[in-house]
Amino acid sequence: MINDTAPEKLLALYLSLPQTPSRLSRHDRKLAQQLIERNTPTELIEAAMLLAIARRSFRDPSLPPLGSIRSFHYFLPVIEEVLSTGVSSDYVHYLRQKLAPFLEKAAESK
C-alpha cells in the first residue's frame, strides 16, 4: 500500500531547499508519486536531494554560478546515483548538519 503522505513529504522537502521554486508544478507532483509507486525509499530520495544541494552549495566559488533549480526532476540523476551506490545514514546526518545554515536561510526567504 502506498503512503499518501510520502509524496507530500518529499515535495515539502523539495520546496524547503535552497534554490528551488516556491511552488510545485503538476510534473513535480507526478514524479514524486511515481517514485513512491516504484517503492523508492523516501529516505534515499531525501538523501539524494541533500547530496545534490550540498554539491551545489559547496561548489568552488570561482566557478560561474548555477541557475536555480526549476523542477523536482533535477534530482533524478542523483537519486539514481544513490540507488546504485548507496549512502550511509551517518553521511546523511553530516549533510543535514553541514547544510543547516543554507536550509535556514532558504526557509526565511520563502
Grid cell listed for 23: 511552488
> Could you report the per-residue pLDDT of 11-50, keeping only the tens digit for each?
999 999 999 999 999 999 999 999 999 999 999 999 999 9
Averaged confidence pLDDT in the chain:
92
In this structure, how many other beta carbons lie within 10 angstroms of the beta carbon of residue 20?
Answer: 23
The whole-angstrom separation of Cα 37 and Cα 103 is: 28
Q: Where are the domains of the chain?
A: 5-59+68-109
Three-state SS for 5-19 is: HHHHHHHHHHHHCCC
Task: Record the pTM.
Answer: 0.88
Q: Quick one: CA dihedral 74, 43, 8, 39, positive or negative? A: positive
